[in-house]
């Protein structure tokens, strides 16, 4: 026979448990129900302070000119960061020839999330910085910091990688940092030769890291950190990927970034996206600053020593980073 007291205590415990479980049922499931019925995709919050620090770190290595110590150290830093953020990382290594015949060791850095997913988006930027300051009036032969031209696109992509590591994403994402984009023919040479820029992206587009690599579309970031920057609908982007241009500019407008993402249409420019579109045929847009007041229509500090940390704006980084994050997480 079981003791009467034991039965009484057991009943008491049962009653208490029932009351608590009832209380749970009445308060939690309602919220759960509405969540599962109407799923919404949360977009992570882009942290511009973080992106800014990633740019500072690159600049602190010194100019990232191919074959320099700073270039080598920055390469190792970038590979390490992407690994820390849970990506599969590889470096595509080979030699390419500069316009004047100088052989340069090229290192394209490729970071991959969800390698087996067929739906993929390609994000890219160049990570090298220019070996001279041919738009400047002094110290033309000295390399530039390239905080905006080189540093900014990489800084935004590192912060996006960090967000992907915190908030798992349901599509494949490939982040490619192209090397030797910015070692093209100087503007004081009178016989201008075609295709001297974007050597890393030209190489990758002809020799992708994976046979038959493809992505649904690509987004290139170039000079995305300048104060009060304006990003216009550039010609190559419109020609090959107008649907993506409209999608990105639409998401920017929805987020209140129309001061940065203006709806003006501007002429085509030679940049990494040109070769991705033409050679590997992935529809790719360029988010790149357009400036009507300068001679070459680029950022006022383009290829000058003043392209340093002083011209980097967290507001601009935030507008670009938050927009691209929403593009990714709403797919």
Distance of CA 122 to the CA centre of its chain: 9
Smallest gap, in angstroms, from Cβ of residue 289 to ligand AHN? 10
Residue among 78 and 224 whose Cβ is closer to ligand AHN: 224
In the chain, alpha helices (H): 4-27, 29-37, 48-61, 69-84, 153-166, 199-206, 235-254, 272-275, 314-329
If contact means CB under 5 to 8 A according to the sort of partner, which of Zn ion, ligand AHN, none does residue 197 touch?
Answer: ligand AHN
Give the Å distances, CA to CA, from 179 to 11, 38, 93, 200.
73, 44, 10, 5
Q: Rule CB under 6 A: is residue 134 a binding residue for ligand AHN?
A: no
Residue among 180 and 327 whose Cβ is closer to Zn ion: 180
Half-sphere exposure of 87 (CA within 13 A, CB side): 28
Sole binder of ligand AHN in the list 96, 171, 270, 300 (CB under 6 A): 270
Cβ-proximal residue to ligand AHN, closest one: 270
Listed ranges 27-35, 144-152, 167-175, 192-200: which one lies at the site for Zn ion (CB under 5 A): 144-152
Q: How many CB atoms lie within 10 A of CB 77?
A: 16
> Judged by CB under 6 A, how many residues of this single chain contact ligand AHN?
7
The pairing of strands 120-126 and 172-178 is parallel
Sole binder of ligand AHN in the list 145, 149, 179, 234 (CB under 6 A): 149
Q: Rule CB under 5 A: is residue 149 a binding residue for Zn ion?
A: yes
Here's the x/- map for Zn ion, 90-129, by CB under 5 A: it reads as: ----------------------------------------
* Structural contact between residues 216 and 120, judged by C-beta atoms closer than 8 angstroms: yes
Show contacts with ligand AHN in window 84-103 (CB under 6 A). Answer: none
- What are the counts of helices (DSSP H) followed by strands (DSSP E) for the chain? 9, 8
Sole binder of ligand AHN in the list 124, 173, 221, 269 (CB under 6 A): 269
């Amino acid at each position: 026979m079981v003791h009467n007291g034991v039965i009484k205590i057991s009943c008491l415990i049962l009653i208490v448990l029932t009351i608590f479980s009832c209380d749970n049922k009445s308060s939690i499931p309602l919220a759960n129900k509405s969540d599962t019925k109407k799923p919404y995709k949360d977009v992570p919050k882009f942290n511009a302070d973080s992106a800014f620090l990633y740019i500072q770190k690159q600049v602190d290595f010194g100019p990232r000119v191919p074959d320099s110590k700073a270039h080598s150290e920055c390469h190792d830093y970038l590979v390490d960061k992407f690994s820390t953020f849970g990506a599969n990382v590889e470096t595509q290594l080979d030699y390419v020839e500069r316009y004047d015949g100088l052989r340069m060791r090229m290192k394209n850095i490729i970071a991959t999330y969800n390698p087996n997913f067929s739906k993929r988006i390609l994000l890219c930027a160049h990570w090298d910085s220019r070996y001279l300051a041919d738009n400047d009036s002094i110290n033309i032969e000295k390399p530039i910091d390239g905080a905006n031209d080189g540093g900014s696109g990489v800084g935004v992509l590192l912060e996006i990688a960090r967000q992907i590591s915190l908030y798992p994403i349901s599509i494949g994402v490939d982040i490619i940092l192209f090397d030797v984009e910015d070692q093209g023919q100087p503007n004081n040479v009178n016989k201008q030769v075609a295709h001297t820029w974007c050597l890393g992206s030209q190489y990758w587009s002809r020799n992708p890291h994976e046979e038959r690599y493809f992505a649904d579309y690509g987004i290139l970031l170039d000079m995305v950190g300048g104060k009060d920057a304006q990003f216009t609908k550039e010609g190559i982007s419109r020609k090959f990927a107008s649907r993506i241009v409209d999608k990105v500019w639409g998401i920017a407008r929805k987020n209140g970034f129309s001061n940065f993402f203006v709806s003006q249409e501007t002429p085509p420019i030679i940049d990494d996206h040109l070769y991705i579109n033409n050679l590997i045929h992935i529809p790719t847009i360029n988010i790149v600053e357009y400036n009507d007041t300068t001679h070459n229509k680029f950022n006022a500090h383009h290829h000058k020593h003043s392209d340093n940390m002083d011209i980097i704006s967290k507001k601009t980084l935030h507008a670009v980073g938050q927009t691209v994050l929403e593009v990714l997480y709403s797919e």
